[in-house]
Amino acid sequence: MSNFSLLITNWYRQNGRNLPWRQTTDPYLIWLSEIILQQTRVDQGMAYYEKFVRHYPTVKDLANAQEIDVLNDWQGLGYYSRARNLHFSAKFIQNELDGKFPQTFKEILGLKGVGKYTAAAIASFAFGEVQAVVDGNVYRVLSRVFDIDTPMDSTAGVKEFQKLADELISSEQPGEHNQAIMELGALICTPKPVCEDCPLTEMCLARAKQTITNRPVKSKKTKVRNRFFHFKVFSDQGKTLIEKRTEKGIWQNMFQFPLEEFDTNDNSAISSLRDNQSRESAEIIHVLSHQRIHTVFHHYPFLPEERKEHWIEIEHEKIQDYPLPRLVDRYLEENTID
């Protein structure tokens, strides 16, 4: 075992958080936790993990669930493609693999929505396979300890970091090693690191060279797309209209008020949405990883005679029976439909 691995696993045994998905080797539960924790903080993900374990204790329960229920349970977490992929893969495991969760890194990688990081995490935590994880926390720790200035988001960087992680991983305790390095990145070697509590201070090159704040290096800036959403909130006698988002992209298969999307916030473009009976909300900006959604809700005190085929008329109070994007749900927490 490398000195690096020894130091971090000793530290982890004493300082690692006691999280529920660390108390199991059931690959299904580990997979659930890993998908929930992608782009979600542990404190926020915990309640969702517990809810999913309660509602769908086995892969069979998840496979047999209706997609609308799975999306409803996911509501508030965002990035709904994760929930759809979970459900899709549960059905695949149940129907194509006789309910047996795949057992190797390679096979796990075949599940929809599972990338190299998640496959390595499940394979090492559940089956003790020697597969090193490389996630944002690992990039930070390795770039600092070894003072690596290759951009982590370049092809060369991805290869270099993976190679280094593969060299460092313990072949005796790969799962614990992976947990330890990620935990160190989450608790100690954070963007503002707490070096005095770190087990790697002696060997940390970035600390010695005072390059910590410049590690890891990133080459690209994420391009952000601006989108302009205008929701039409019709209301009459306790009824409103909603529609299902069927197109690929954000919020697929979720429900929303009838939407018109524009590629500009130019006032003249949206003038057709205004009439003397309508009122509108202030603009709400919802930030996703690659998109900024500028949203206005237009309220109309009537239901239109002319309707699109896919619009569904429902009672106001039934709207929470449908999986809604967090943006819409949040708006309804503070505003009534009429």
Q: Catalytic amino acids?
A: 34
* 59 interacts with ligand SF4 by CB under 6 A: no
Binding mask 129-168 for ligand SF4 (x = CB under 6 A): ------------x--xx-----------------------
Does 8 sit near ligand SF4 (CB under 6 A)?
A: no
The secondary structure of 131-184, three-state, reads CCCCCHHHHHHHHHHCCCCCCCCCHHHHHHHHHHHHHHCCCCCHHHHHHHHHHH
Q: Distance (Å, rounded) from C-alpha 114 to C-alpha 118?
A: 6
Smallest gap from Cβ 192 to ligand SF4, in A, equals 10
188-207 footprint of ligand SF4 as x/- string (CB under 6 A): xx---x-x--x-xx--x-xx
Q: Write the interaction track for ligand SF4 spanning residues 215-254; mark x where CB under 6 A is met and - where it is not.
A: ----------------------------------------
Does 11 interact with ligand SF4 (rule: CB under 6 A)?
no
Cα of 243 vs its chain's centroid, Å: 24
Per the CB < 8 A criterion, the answer to whether 290 and 296 are in contact is no
Instruction: Output the CA–CA distances (angstroms, integers) from residue 282 to 60, 175, 208, 234, 335, in the order listed.
Output: 45, 49, 51, 17, 12
Q: Give, as one character, the DSSP assignment of residue 1.
A: -
Between 32 and 188, name the residue whose CB sits nearer to ligand SF4.
188
Q: Which residue has the tokens 């509590």?
A: 197
CA distance 84 to 101: 18
How many residues form the binding site for ligand SF4 (CB under 6 A)?
A: 14
Q: Does 82 bind ligand SF4 (CB under 6 A)?
A: no
Cα atoms in the 13 Å half-sphere on the side-chain side of 39: 11
Nearer to ligand SF4, 134 or 200 (CB): 200
187 binds ligand SF4 (CB under 6 A): no
Residues that bind ligand SF4 (CB under 6 A): 141, 144-145, 188-189, 193, 195, 198, 200-201, 204, 206-207, 212
